[in-house]
Amino acid sequence: MIAFSIAMIVNYPCLQAQKDRVAAHAGSVLAVVGLIFAAGIFTGILSGTGMVDAMSKSLLAVIPDAMGPYLAVITAVVSMPFTFFMSNDAFYYGVLPVLSEAASHYGISPVEMARASIVGQPVHLLSPLVPSTYLLVALAGIEFGDHQRFTLKWAVLVCVCILIAALLMGIFPAFSSL
């Protein structure tokens, strides 16, 4: 930032010329920077207030004991909406450890839960919490909402294909019989 300031003063000594140069290039960048700050605030609120812990405990409370052996598949499925609505950090550091601990009681290892948790990543990239997606849609000249509406069905289809392939290859169990 210091180098940028020096370069602006040297190359554009007039304040109005500096403003014009920044304005010429700041249109898409300022929106992305604002969204990055908003995502950081949202993530901080979710993590700092204990909402992530409450959400993960609520999820476990609604899963009946009979569904416990299916926690790897359940984790794979809930990773789609959860990583869309919360940051990866919140999901992987807040929710996944709780799910992993619960799954260990049913004979599902933490590494299997970790593998199951990445199934939802194609949907995560459509999240408003992913700043790089804003940059890409701005460069492509399309609206973020239009991008989400068009891409969501394909992202979910990719997640389903990943889930089926992972189950067929034994990457994580469909059912754990302790």
Token pair 């979710």 is found at 46
pLDDT at 28: 65
> pLDDT (tens digit, 9 = 90+) per residue, 3-34?
888 988 999 999 898 888 887 877 667 766 77
What whole-number distance in Å separates Cα of residue 59 and Cα of residue 78? Answer: 10
Instruction: Flag whether pLDDT at 74 surpasses 90.
Output: yes
Query: Is residue 177 situated within a structural domain?
Result: no
pLDDT at 151: 96
Query: Is residue 178 situated within a structural domain?
Result: no
Q: Residue 109's domain spans which residues?
A: 2-169
| Cβ atoms of residues 144 and 35 within 8 Å | no
Q: Which two tokens stand for residue 144?
A: 């973020």
> pLDDT (tens digit, 9 = 90+) per residue, 100-158?
888 888 899 999 999 999 999 999 999 988 888 988 898 899 999 999 999 999 999 99
Q: Number of structural domains, the chain?
A: 1
Query: Is residue 85 situated within a structural domain?
Result: yes
Query: Is residue 150 situated within a structural domain?
Result: yes
